[in-house]
Chain A
């Protein structure tokens, strides 16, 4: 166990030796080793630097979590004195050159720097992508070594825990959370302080603190990045929550698909226990709190709170009706609070800096910041954290760097399969919980997928319904059968068999599913259909009336034609057509028989003369 004085000594030591501006000629090399970095090939880069720097005491090589710019992984930061240099799209060969020219020779290798809008940036901090962000939940990601508790402590880690244990009562903690205005970052936006106050008010021999790390929204990965880049922040916050509601046991329910996160959490738990910051008699007091890890097994519905708790109990993760709410009767029938990873990542900072500091950021009803996972048709895919109230335009155009290949923005999907699309006409919406609900979407956990003119909105709605049909747990009928019927209607429309009456049926069915489903999964499942109908009704009508897919996505509605002016009669298309739908003689323009054509587009891919078009 470490005393508070010892922790302070560690903090001072690490700050002086690791984080302080080093002397000229002394280097720190940091490699982003989160899942996305590793997938892009960061391990060989790390090994190359390790090998090159072996024996050189003027160059320290370390790992950090997600730096945030997935597009440019593997990313390496070189720090000398107060100067940061960011190298992008690295490999082992480039690493050797950086080591030779920059670390040994003192010359920045400009070839590997990041270029944003035609401007070469020396470091990530010089980019618009970074400058417009405000990092609270991600404050340590990409900065500290997630497998080293000392670096977390050096960045004020566990100071908030010390504060609540020595200075604050349960009521004080709950009040700070209430005053801060922090709302649940998992999607629904319920005030965190209220949740805690309900559980604190219960009299029970056992209470639980749970963390939802079952990030199921496809396209969202902020929770994974926090767990991989700053696992102690979650442990500290859960322990604070334990103190606030009077619980002694916590569980983190994390996806088994996140092996790196699980590994780092296990390391963090072990280290925190060694330092006496978790387990029995925390910081030498009689407060005890332990945390266990439970692995999910791939069920989207387990992101719903009652289903998640049933799953921790080892059963099929089916939701149950509320009330009773988990704060009254949750895990193993005991009062339980459940918060999401990103919510917890804000807690220690709120305790340290005060409720007023936090509530000064954001909009009237949505305080603080929100992390978004930018993906889809956008130049800078990655993780961004912005103050609530930032406009969608700023996020997409400035931070995200706009849409690739000069295409036009069509819509952004927030809230994943439970949310909706935001069309270009709402590009200037200030993103917060209430504004998104008002335009038919929702905050969700923070996935933000950008779509351009090549994406068909009916197809996107069908994609999300395919997901919910698959993930519906089957317990209640409106969701189990209703979502399948919605999907079938969309299939009919994209298949060219739709009638105008189908639109009314979609709407009626969607309303019925929303009103009658048992849990959040079913209640929100029709949202992608409703929001695409609201903003892109013309696309539905084009599919139904004109039998055309305006974005040329829905195969059954495509017509392929050969331009006789461009066709030279090379016969390649005819030879490759699997349906024998193309006829013609050598050196004469060919023709496609539309009755035989199966719209596989093989001819178009094979034509060297650009003579074949689809409509």
Chain B
């Protein structure tokens, strides 16, 4: 899978860095600690910006290309930030034979982005994911890994996306009021 390095400016906080450094200090002596550290870093920052990868390399005294190599090898490491609402459509075999490709195509069409991309307003990102193991509910899509929509039809996705846009509008109105 080809990955794009983000062009969004890095805006990590000192608190985030302190949290990561504490984790590195605790685990650096363990054999094979690089991946767990990168997984933790992604939890802290939401993705793995170039600056964070270099920081990890310096702390562990290994070449930055080694960190970058691991980051690009595994699909779960994100080099760009994700949308506020991360949509993932399962393209596992069970979902595929039940039509999840049509669901994915429909979402791409509605949001006008491709899998792996994020909408310009930073609201929605979409990805085609591997089997989530809920094959009995195929085809399945998830939003932010927790809202699960099963036995989906392509015709139903517009209403689902609209629901999140509605959340957003309500939140904005609420903010404007306050």
Contacts and interface: CB of A to CB of B under 8 A. Distances in A.
* Most A C-beta atoms less than 10 A away, residue of B1, B92, B94: B94
Contacts of B93: 218-219, 375-376, 413, 416, 447, 449, 463
A263 to B, nearest CB: 14
Interface in B85-143: 91-94, 96-98, 129-138, 140
A96 B96 CA distance: 36
A433 B44 CA distance: 45
Given A257-B132, A298-B76, A332 B138 contact: no
B131 to A, nearest CB: 4
A135 interface: no
Contact of B135 (A221, A299, A315, A451): A221
B94 A449 contact: yes
Nearest to B154: A605
Interface stretch (B14-22, B30-38, B156-164, B168-176): B30-38
Contacts of B77: 297
B150 interface: yes
A316 B97 contact: no
B97 A298 contact: no
A35 interface: yes
B39 A295 contact: yes
A455 B69 CA distance: 38
Interface residues on B, range: 35 or more
B34 A70 contact: no
A316 B72 CA distance: 9
B35 A311 contact: yes
Contacts of B76: 256-257, 297-298
Contacts of A217: 131
A381 interface: yes
A295 B138 contact: no
Contacts of A298: 74-76, 130
Contact of A219 (B32, B92, B150): B92
A316 B135 contact: no
Contacts of B73: 299, 316-318, 473
B130 A70 contact: no
B70 A40 contact: no
Interface in B1-45: 1, 31-36, 39
Given A219-B94, A449-B97, A316 B36 contact: no
A317 B77 CA distance: 14
Given A218-B92, A376-B93, A463-B93, A314 B32 contact: yes
A294 B97 contact: no
A370 interface: no
A312 B74 CA distance: 13
5 contacts: A219-B131, A257-B133, A313-B31, A382-B136, A449-B93
Interface of B: 1, 31-36, 39, 66, 69-70, 73-77, 91-94, 96-98, 129-138, 140, 148, 150, 155
Interface of A: 35-36, 39-40, 69-71, 73, 215-221, 224, 256-258, 294-300, 311-318, 332, 373, 375-377, 381-382, 413, 416, 447, 449, 451, 455, 460, 463, 470, 473, 605
